Amino acid sequence: MGDPRKAKKLYRRPRMIWTTDQLNAELYIMGSYGLRNKRELWKAQTEVARIRNQARALLALSAEARAEKEKRLLNFLNRLSLTKEGATLDDILNLKVEDLLERRLQTIVMKKSGTKSPYQARQVVRHGHVSIGNLKVNIPGYLVKTDEEPQILLHIEIPGTDAAQPAS
């Protein structure tokens, strides 16, 4: 069954990690979104692959068997703002890693607060200067839901920006 104290891995690394094209693509994404290491990227890739696999499995089912499961999956993705309101399973199959990385707290703080780099946004989040409503969130990889986005507050003045206290 497994040791309850040892959590299972949340990611699967690529089979061949030393191909030049893949290295360049990973480094570009890591720099664009301010990821700490490739493990964070691999977690996002694994999550997108899991969602797409669910959609593929639903497409294989009959229409009446997949109706409720499809609705639940689309509602979940809609809450995360990964899909639009009238999305279909084909839209889920078109999801990319960048779509998921755009919903991270670090990326949203970077866009709303006007920090100079994603790494500065990561530092602001990590040091506890960001709250969502009444909750202080210091996890840069937190996936922000659609209804939480207007509640993001920044509790520090960032030098070199004209941003006011609320990062909205």
Spell out the domains of the chain, with CATH numbers in brackets: 20-100 (no CATH), 104-154 (3.10.290.10)
Reading the chain (168 residues) residue by residue, the pLDDT tens digits are: 678 898 889 999 999 999 999 999 999 999 999 999 999 999 999 999 999 999 999 999 999 989 999 999 999 999 999 999 999 999 999 999 999 999 999 999 999 998 999 999 999 999 999 999 999 999 999 999 999 999 999 998 887 766 545 555
- Distance (Å, whole) CA 104 – CA 159: 23
Cα distances (angstroms) measured from residue 106 to each of 3, 64, 114, 115, 151: 32, 40, 12, 10, 15
Residue 154: predicted pLDDT: 94
The per-residue pLDDT for range 95-112, each reduced to its tens digit, is 999 999 999 999 999 999
Residue 1: predicted pLDDT: 66
Number of Cβ within a 10 Å radius of residue 25: 13
Is the pTM of the predicted complex or chain greater than 0.95? no
Q: Which residues share a beta bridge with 138?
A: none
C-beta separation of 15 from 22 below 8 A: no
Residue 166: predicted pLDDT: 57
